[in-house]
Amino acid sequence: MKYLVLGGNGFIGSHLVAALCENGHSVRVFDRSTVSNDSRTKSAEYITGDFQNTFALAEALSGIDVVYHLISTTVPSTSNLDMVNDIQTNLVSTVRLLQTMIDVGVKKIVFLSSGGTVYGNPESNPIAESHALNPICSYGVTKIAIEKYLFLFKQLHKLEYNILRVSNPYGANQHHYGVQGVIQTFLLKALKGETITIWGDGAVERDYIYIDDLISVCVKSGLKMYNDIFNIGSGELVSISEIIHVIEKVTDRKLKIEKLPSRDFDVKSISLDCTKAKEKFSWSPSCDLESGILKNWEELLGNESSNS
């Protein structure tokens, strides 16, 4: 099997590329950033390009069996600031990708959607894939639209797909410092002795999944297409206050906290029912929150030591 990982130099993408290479697969990476220096991905082929460049995508798709689509040009906290840009760079570009796939004969794709934004404020927790979709940010709306186009391309062109509605991944090499990735941001600030900013009273609850558990199911999802949607998370509700408590325990440091007013686009509480993914992929998350945060912290300490 030959895989194309769109966004393969990002947080999730770099871990996925490493796992695919270690499993003996042929991997091509398409990303706008430079080539990875990860020793685990030496066998991967790297193409530098812009996701909005159809010709570059067509070249990257040549000879590919399965596409992993991990690219997003926005994050939930910024998507409402320029919704037209969100639509143009994510939705329109993805539809062009799908059309290009059909044109060059690539008929399988795994799309990483959002389990944290497409549902909006849920009626109850944990929520299944059948729950109503009521996103409260443009990021979530765009993810849903892409899901619908995947369904349409299946009907029109027999494109096969798996949609993974991922909760909140965390772990080594998460780069959106201060923008996305609460756990990584808090750990970095704990390492530097900086003040942590939270919006609201810390009661906002999320579902967090350690990166290794996410990558495990991502690899499995590339082997067989079900033309279906799967929640991917831990299934556990964790508040910001609980994360702070665990980080203080793991790091043995008292964190400095600054509280700001709550934000309208933040879903108050959400966790995912991942029963379908567990059954179809014979998968289950194995890393609990404290163990995952400890692994993340030890990795940061190791990087700090090697850079000093």
| Short-list 49, 38, 44, CA closest to 11 | 38
Average pLDDT over residues 208-224: 98
| Strands of the 228-232 sheet, one edge to the other | 45-48, 26-31, 2-6, 66-69, 108-114, 160-166, 228-232
Q: Which residue has the tokens 């996103």?
A: 135
Question: Are the beta carbons of 67 and 110 closer than 8 angstroms?
Answer: yes
Domains present along the chain, CATH in parentheses: 72-307 (3.40.50.720)
| Short-list 271, 243, 7, 228, CA closest to 116 | 271
Q: 28-65: per-residue pLDDT in tens?
A: 999 998 777 788 898 999 999 999 999 999 999 999 99
Q: Which residue has the tokens 């979530």?
A: 140
- Is 210 in the active site? no
Percent of the chain at pLDDT > 90 equals 86
Query: DSSP alpha helices (H): ranges in the chain?
Result: 11-22, 54-61, 76-79, 83-86, 93-104, 138-157, 182-192, 211-221, 240-251, 275-281, 289-307
Tell me the Cα Rg of the chain.
19
Mean pLDDT comparison of 95-99, 173-177, 199-203, 265-269, highest-scoring range: 95-99
Which run of H or of E encompasses 196?
strand 195-199
Catalytically annotated residue among 139, 149, 161, 208? 139
Q: How far apart are CA 284 and CA 274, in angstroms?
A: 9
- First-to-last CA distance in the chain? 41
| Short-list 74, 72, 91, 70, CA closest to 27 | 70
Q: How far apart are CA 40 and CA 22, in angstroms?
A: 7
Instruction: Tell me the pLDDT band of 303, cut-offs 50, 70 and 90.
Output: confident
- The one-letter amino acid code at 186 reads F
Q: How far apart are CA 279 and CA 174, in angstroms?
A: 29
Q: What pTM was estimated for this model as a whole?
A: 0.94
pLDDT computed for residue 172 by the predictor: 84
Q: 160-209: per-residue pLDDT in tens?
A: 999 999 999 999 888 654 456 899 999 999 999 999 999 899 999 999 99
